[in-house]
Amino acid sequence: MAKRTLIGLGLVVAAVTVAWMAAIGPVAVWRVVTHGTTTVWDHEEYPGRAFDPSPTPVEWVVETAALPEVVTLDGVEVSLEETLSSSETLSLLVVRDGVIVTEWSRPGHPVDREIMVFSVTKSLLSLLVGAAIDDGILGPVDTPVTGYLPELAEHGFDRVTIHDLLRMDTGLDYIEGDNPFGEHVEFNYTPDLVSAILALGVHDQPDPTFRYKSGDYAVLSLVLARALGETSLTSFFRDRLWDPLGATGEGIWSTDSADGFERAWCCLAMTARDLARFGQLALDDGVWQGEGLISARWLDASFQPGYGTGRWPAEYQDSPLADYGYGWWLTRAGARLGLGKDGQYLYIDPERRVVIVRQGESTGDFSWVELFEQVAASAG
């Protein structure tokens, strides 16, 4: 009986493995098994398109000021230094009025080391889409997705627009999560991302409430790629934003394979100082060092609430997150937020004119937005 049970279990495991390989492909399975869950160092493990510092680098002005010694989290005063250390923070950067006023790094972590920013990439992709629309490369936000991806018409995308993708308001048949049989794991590890994107479908109607779906931004990236033609997303990002912003570090955009397609919902890597440049650009209505890189009209649209109280999910009611714009979370206190896995943050406080970057290997068990509000108040 025991032998039969073991044989039966072996057959079940074999069948599940075969089904898994069929679902996401052998290369993706191998990557999952050998590497495990995604980390902020993935860009050092997998293919990607690297880009150099800007040919006209612009150093930040630095006027160092002390961080507050304590912050109040969940009603309890705690040491900020100990909170940063215990939460596996790698760096915390605070910029006020275009000047770095605080820069904290974990001991042993070089400030010029690139870190995967995960889904903060969505916020940067939104800026890039805005640049393409400003330049006339991409049509307006009410343009149907099928104008660029006609193959998706039979999958229900004829009713979906660029605006819907930016808002994640598509009804996309995509579940965000770590289920190894699910789309999200496949998207993270497949060596043929374009085929995976073109296999997606949407429901007849958008979801009744906001539902976070990286797949929407994967589709958005392919729309932009089709509009760009022979120019890669990385090249357009470098030429249109990275170089004009005077980035001083190196960057990399992870791809599905060597010389492949960018994982554009998640997988840009850069230093904290260079990530802060994008926050300052957004804070200053698309202007950097006197040069307009993104139209103020696009930034204004990006920070408009997309759902309102009627469609904002109950699960967020006790959260500082109040709505979702074009790739940016909007907080109840009026800040704008790029937010990525393991606690990657690009926080913009327009009232105090403060930008905060946090990079780390885990999130901790408290509200970073609550912490940022206090740090911003101290800096402002």
How do residues 163-205 score in pLDDT, each as one tens digit? 999 999 999 999 998 777 778 889 999 999 999 999 999 999 9
What pLDDT was estimated at residue 56?
Answer: 97
Using N-to-C axis directions, what is the helix angle for 26-35 and 2-24, rounded to 10°?
A: 110
Task: Write out pLDDT tens, residues 312-359.
Answer: 999 998 899 999 999 999 999 999 999 999 999 999 999 999 999 999
Residue 177, C-beta contacts closer than 8 angstroms, at least 6 positions apart:
184
What is the per-residue pLDDT for 314? 93
> Which class for 117: exposed (0-12), middle (13-18), buried (19 or more C-beta within 10 A)?
buried
Residue 11 binned pLDDT confidence (cut-offs 50, 70, 90) = very low
Closest CA to 375 of 85, 76, 92: 92
Q: What is the DSSP string of 24-47?
A: H-HHHHHHHHHH-S--TTGGGTS-
Alpha carbon distance 227, 240 (integer Å): 15
Distance CA 359, CA 342 (A): 8
Phi, psi of 42 (to 5 degrees): -60, -30
Of the candidates 338, 307, 266, the one whose C-alpha atom is nearest the C-alpha of residue 169 is 307
The answer to whether 303 touches 330, Cβ cutoff 8 Å, is yes
Residues 107-158 pLDDT 10s:
999 989 999 999 999 999 999 999 999 999 999 999 999 999 999 999 999 9
Q: Which of 280, 248, 249, 292 is nearest to 56 (CA)?
A: 248
Residue 60 has pLDDT above 70, yes or no: yes
Cα–Cα separations (whole angstroms), residue 351 to 64, 299, 373, 375: 21, 16, 11, 14
Q: What is the mean pLDDT of residues 75-97?
A: 97
Neighbours of 231 (CB within 10 A): 13
pLDDT of residue 17: 45
pTM for this structure? 0.92
The pair of structure tokens assigned to 138 is 């991409």
Among 108-112, 224-228, 368-372, the least confident range: 108-112
Model confidence at 1, pLDDT cuts 50, 70, 90, reads: low
CA distance 87 to 269: 20
> Domains in the chain, ordered, with CATH?
2-35 (no CATH), 42-379 (3.40.710.10)
Structure tokens, 5: 């049970």
Higher pLDDT, 374 or 8: 374
Instruction: Answer yes or no: is pLDDT of 21 > 80.
Output: no
Closest CA relative to residue 272, chosen from 105, 53, 48: 105
Count of CB atoms within 10 A of residue 228's CB?
16
Q: Examine the pLDDT at 235 and tell me if it is beyond 80.
A: yes
Gap between the Cα atoms of 373 and 352, Å rounded:
10
- Taking residues 31-59, report their average pLDDT: 90
Question: What is d(CA 53, CA 25) in angstroms, rounded to the nearest whole number?
Answer: 36
- Is residue 377 pLDDT above 70, yes or no? yes
Share of the chain above pLDDT 90, in %: 83
Q: Please, which residues bridge with residue 321 across strands? A: 331
Alpha carbon separation from 64 to 56, 124, 229, 356 (Å, rounded) = 24, 27, 45, 14
Q: Would you state the pLDDT for residue 30? A: 67
pLDDT score of 8? 47
> Which tokens go with 324?
């979702």
Q: In whole angstroms, what is the distance from residue 299 CA to residue 189 CA?
A: 32
Give the Cα separation of 365 and 282 in Å (integer).
Answer: 28
- What pLDDT is attached to residue 179? 73
**What does the alpha-carbon distance between residue 166 and residue 151 come to, in Å, rounded to a whole number?**
20
pLDDT, one tens digit per residue, over 250-278 is 999 999 999 999 999 999 999 999 999 99
> What is the average pLDDT across 42-53?
95
The whole-chain average pLDDT of the chain stands at 92
H or E element that contains 321: strand 321-324
Residue 65 banded pLDDT, cuts 50, 70, 90: confident
Side-chain-side CA neighbours of 297 within 13 Å: the count stands at 7
